[in-house]
Amino acid sequence: MDESNQTIVSEFLLLGLSESPEQQRVQFWMFLSMYLVTVVGNVLIILAISFDPRLHTPMYFFLANLSFTDLFFVTNTYCLQSQNKAISYAGCLTQLYFLVSLVALDNLILATMAYDRYVAICRPLHYTTAMSPGLCILLLALCWALSALYGLTHTLLMTRVTFCGSRKIHYIFCEMYVLLRLACSNTQVNHTVLIATGSFIFLAPLGFTIMSYVWIVRAILRIPSASSKYKAFSTCASHLAVVSLFYGTLCMVYLQPLHTYSMKDSVATVMYAVVTPMMNPFIYSLRNKDMHGALGRLFLGKAFQRLT
């Protein structure tokens, strides 16, 4: 494109998934409802774990941090629809940084939780020393550092990209694939780094999680008692469900070439950006007696103890 005919984009328009006013109103109330449910659910998980000494264990320590990450993530990605849908270039890159960083952080925390379940089931006698408070904090700090570096890398690379022409984003937030498709400069470096870093930050933890569950299943199958097998598996079921939901929606979006990205992938992105954080509290508390008890004590206090 001739440089004299280029108009450099200084802001973007977040149009949501539709430009129809009627559909936008429906989407507004739908996303607002989902956002409020997500906030309430994750805040309750954090409060229940924080105020109940029975839940001060590595598994719930990481769960509280996962809920905090989901809370931060959905707040970053949710955009209230208004008459002015414009977002500045700097604001869009800021949102992109937190989006990329928090997705990576979710992924790393889930892998760390898989390691916790592996130690608890495969090496129960060493669990207290292998998952000491100091190590848990160190693992969490490493997750935060890697995810922050990952987000910073892609955000800085995005500053090299030139945007001109269309500034419409048919999304509720600034998403990397969408921005790259709006670019009018060469994005080959972005694609190469995305594949290289993505393989490390996503595929490596996924492989680690799969291997952890292979060893967990082998250990469970060696347990002679059926009730003990069920109890051991039930401690992993919630985490396994969340991992499946997270990677399932993520793979629907990103395991494809950029040029094939379409509106159906926008809906899939909303699934992992909005639906997954909303479902996590329900999955972890649905059949978890410890969490039921903690929530009961949080709301009813001593009255709940008398009832139980």
What tens digit of pLDDT does each residue of 90-112 get?
888 999 999 999 999 999 999 99
Q: What is the pTM of this model?
A: 0.87
Q: How far apart are the first and last CA of the chain?
A: 72
pLDDT beyond 80 at 59: yes
Average pLDDT over residues 222-234: 83
- Backbone conformation region of residue 171, classed left if phi is above 0, alpha if psi is from -120 to 50, else beta: beta
Task: Note the pLDDT tens digit of each residue in 174-193.
Answer: 888 888 888 888 888 988 89
C-alpha distances in Å from residue 102, one per residue of 71, 149, 252, 283? 10, 11, 18, 20
Give the separation between CA 173 and CA 99, rounded to whole angstroms. 9
Query: Higher pLDDT residue, 3 or 231?
Result: 231
pLDDT beyond 70 at 304: no
Task: Note the pLDDT tens digit of each residue in 234-254.
Answer: 888 888 888 988 888 777 766
Residue 274 pLDDT: 81
Residue 31 pLDDT: 82
For the chain, what is the radius of gyration of the CA atoms? 22
Give the separation between CA 30 and CA 76, rounded to whole angstroms. 17
Q: E-strand spans in the chain?
A: 11-14, 86-88, 168-169
Across the chain, mean pLDDT equals 83
Which range is most confident: 9-23, 65-79, 147-161? 147-161
pLDDT beyond 90 at 62: yes
Please state at what angle helix 58-77 crosses helix 89-122, rounded to 10 degrees: 160
Average pLDDT over residues 29-48: 89
Which range is most confident: 97-106, 219-228, 264-273? 97-106
Residue 1: band (very low, low, confident or very high) from pLDDT cuts 50, 70, 90: very low
